[in-house]
Amino acid sequence: MHLRSTRRIRTEVSLYDPIGVDKEGNEITLIDVLGTAPDIVGEAVESLCEQERLTREIHRLTAREKWVLEMRFGLPDGRRKTQRDIAKILGISRSYVSRIEKHAITKLGKTLSANDTTPK
């Protein structure tokens, strides 16, 4: 039973696992070999994981909420739009765009904090 449960993690590699020793006999880890500050690599990996998680959770929004967030934050193409621009496109007031945006962000925040899997 233990072998089955650990099969999935056999292929996972930690940045802090020893991969060898240097001339002086000190252990060398993968993070040492990457040649950057350890914080930079860790932050980049964490950021990528958060982006993937956000992308998975965005499907819980209504089509309008999703569209407003995509336009406000430039998700599809990197071009951000103002609330005023979005309001013109949708034919609604800027304050209504603001309410849609706030509601969508609140909904995502609750979903992400309820499913929080980051180690503390």
pLDDT digits (tens, 9 = 90+) for 14-29: 778 888 888 888 888 8
pLDDT, residue 95, reads: 97
pLDDT in tens, the chain (120 residues): 445 555 555 667 777 888 888 888 888 887 777 766 666 767 888 888 888 888 888 888 999 999 999 999 988 788 999 999 999 999 999 999 999 999 999 999 888 888 765 554
Q: Where are the domains of the chain?
A: 14-60, 62-120
CATH number, domain 62-120, options 3.40.50.2300, 3.30.70.1880, 1.10.3720.10, 1.10.10.10: 1.10.10.10
CA atoms within 13 A on the CB side of 113: 6
pLDDT at 98: 97
SS3 116: coil
Threshold 0.85, pTM exceeds: no
**C-beta of residue 111 within 8 angstroms of C-beta of residue 57:** yes
Tokens of 73: 């934050």
Q: Helix (H, G, I), strand (E, B), or coil: what is residue 102?
A: helix
